[in-house]
Amino acid sequence: MKKVVKFGGSSLANAEQFEKVGQIIRSEESRRYVVPSAPGKRFDNDTKVTDMLYQCYDAAAAGEDFGGLLNAIKERYYEIIRGLNLNLSLEEEFARIEADFKNQAGKEYAASRGEFLNGKVMAAYLGYEFVDAAAVIRFDKEGNFDGEKTDKLLGKRLAKCERAVIPGFYGAMEDGTVKTFSRGGSDVTGSLVAKAIRADVYENWTDVSGFLVTDPRIVENPVGIDTITYRELRELSYMGATVLHEDAIFPVRKEGIPINIRNTNCPEDKGTFIVESTCKKPKYVITGIAGKKGFCSINIEKSLMNSEIGFGRKILQVFEDEGISFEHVPSGIDTMTVYVHQDEFEEKEQQVIAGIHRAVQPDFVEMESDLALIAVVGRGMKSQRGTAGRIFSALAHANVNVKMIDQGSSELNIIIGVSNDEFERAVKAIYDIFVITQI
């Protein structure tokens, strides 16, 4: 059995957290490949090392003195090294970083040092081999991630090590220029390593015990999700459920490798398994509820719209020309409504209206702002009658006015539009009817 274990910043914020991580790794022989993030926040108002590095590099790039900022970063690592009683010096590494900052080595290089240094500490602490991600995670000449090259390089390199630490978040182009993934990208590295070594499981250790059925800021102590499919997760994370970097799904999904989200602070919790498909029925018909505020709807009405070929395309073309992406397009016989993000739309509102008038000569165009979209997601909905009925009667009882309904033909989700100020009430009502009444 081979497992890749990735630890997020909060799991590695100080020596105490490192010790928990050490225990987790040592408790299972199969945890052979370790992907660390940079040290994260130790307490609420603390600063992540990655952010300290960005600040430090900004000062260096502006020609200001950055010695104090770099020393503060160094202290973060030495605090961990001392706490773990390690005999490890990072003086050489920091001298190199200082010189590279002076030579303007780039923001991405700067940010990547957080993981690079933490990888060094982790390798020394575990007695594992250190494999620099710059040598095995490849970006092409345009700076785009190169999956094929990476898979080959990683596979070949790791075949030679029984156990290794591979820092997360970065890689390099052929000429050695360091590139990073977007923020939170160590999740992606973990997934790439898991794919390359054909791991049995990719364990992603963080500070929560997996995915919750809904947002704990809306519902107090929501229940956890044991198993979720990749498709369900896509729907939920698109709508705001964030635990895992979006791009972390694709590499392992292709190989059918499950991801297990675990909690470093509660290692006995089984967490959430993210799988390609499963026979396991979700406990509550629905798998999760997620949502976002801040949408606008543009309702276009025209008599006999249904018989006008190309009507929809012409409308959507107007949005495309203005560079606005749409979320949902429910339609009726003589109406079509386009849901967009309010902040993307507001500034271009009048151009879009004018464009629609020119394109399709509508009878009228009506707009509504401050709307929220809620996604009720679940593979279990397909085989159950009455799910939609239960949702809407719960919303009616909670006095929520439903403005839009959209069920994808996959029957995996139902999207509901409500006004922003009824959003929380609506989520609670749906949670209550599917979870609370079933417990």
Compare residues 119 and 378 and give the one whose CB is closer to ligand ASP: 119
CB of residue 102 vs ligand ASP: minimum separation in angstroms?
23
CB of residue 169 vs ligand ASP: minimum separation in angstroms?
4
Distant-in-sequence, close-in-space partners of 188: CB < 8 Å, separation ≥ 6: 168, 181, 245, 247, 248, 251
Site for ligand ASP in 91-110 (CB under 6 A): none
Instruction: Pick one of 21, 94, 114, 262: the residue that binds ligand ASP (CB under 6 A).
Output: 114
Compare residues 250 and 326 and give the one whose CB is closer to ligand ASP: 250
Residues composing the chain: 439
**Site mask, ligand ASP, residues 16-35, x = CB under 6 A?**
--------------------
Max distance between CA atoms of the chain, in angstroms, equals 79
Applying CB under 6 A, the span of 77-85, 128-136, 184-192, 331-339 interacting with ligand ASP comes to 184-192
DSSP conformation class of 11:
G
Three-class DSSP category at 266:
coil
Asked if residues 420 and 294 have their Cβ atoms less than 8 Å apart, the reply is: yes
Q: Tell which residue, 296, 383, 402, 392, has the closest CA to residue 345.
A: 296
DSSP 270-285: --EEEES--SPPPTTS
Beta-ladder partners of 137: none
Buried b (16+ CB within 10 A) or exposed e, 3-17: bbbbbbbbbbbbbeb
Asked if residues 7 and 35 have their Cβ atoms less than 8 Å apart, the reply is: yes
CA distance 146 to 235: 26
Instruction: Pick one of 3, 31, 32, 48: the residue that binds ligand ASP (CB under 6 A).
Output: 48
Q: Which tokens hold the place of 234? A: 């896509």
CB of residue 245 vs ligand ASP: minimum separation in angstroms?
7
CB of residue 210 vs ligand ASP: minimum separation in angstroms?
18
Instruction: Establish if 183 lies at the interface with ligand ASP (CB under 6 A).
Output: yes
Asked if residues 196 and 164 have their Cβ atoms less than 8 Å apart, the reply is: no
Instruction: Establish if 186 lies at the interface with ligand ASP (CB under 6 A).
Output: yes
Which strands make up the sheet holding 201-206, listed edge to edge? 129-130, 164-165, 31-36, 3-7, 201-206, 259-263, 272-275, 227-229
Instruction: Pick one of 10, 11, 17, 50: the residue that binds ligand ASP (CB under 6 A).
Output: 50
CB of residue 114 vs ligand ASP: minimum separation in angstroms?
5
Site for ligand ASP in 157-176 (CB under 6 A): 168-169
CB of residue 287 vs ligand ASP: minimum separation in angstroms?
25
Which strands make up the sheet holding 170-173, listed edge to edge? 138-139, 170-173, 178-180
CB of residue 414 vs ligand ASP: minimum separation in angstroms?
32
Instruction: Pick one of 119, 167, 185, 380: the residue that binds ligand ASP (CB under 6 A).
Output: 185
Within a 10 A sphere around the Cβ of 269, how many other Cβ atoms? 14
Instruction: Pick one of 17, 37, 206, 387: the residue that binds ligand ASP (CB under 6 A).
Output: 37
CB of residue 184 vs ligand ASP: minimum separation in angstroms?
5
Q: Tell which residue, 7, 104, 97, 28, has the closest CA to residue 60.
A: 104
CB of residue 218 vs ligand ASP: minimum separation in angstroms?
25
User: How many Å from the N-terminal Cα to the C-terminal Cα in the chain?
Assistant: 36
Applying CB under 6 A, the span of 182-190, 231-239, 364-372, 419-427 interacting with ligand ASP comes to 182-190
CA distance 101 to 38: 18
CA distance 10 to 8: 6
Give residue number: closest CB to ligand ASP: 186
Applying CB under 6 A, the span of 95-103, 180-188, 368-376, 422-430 interacting with ligand ASP comes to 180-188
CB of residue 49 vs ligand ASP: minimum separation in angstroms?
7
Instruction: Establish if 206 lies at the interface with ligand ASP (CB under 6 A).
Output: no
Instruction: Pick one of 4, 9, 203, 249: the residue that binds ligand ASP (CB under 6 A).
Output: 9
Site size for ligand ASP (CB under 6 A): 12
Residues that bind ligand ASP (CB under 6 A): 9, 37-38, 48, 50, 114, 168-169, 183-186
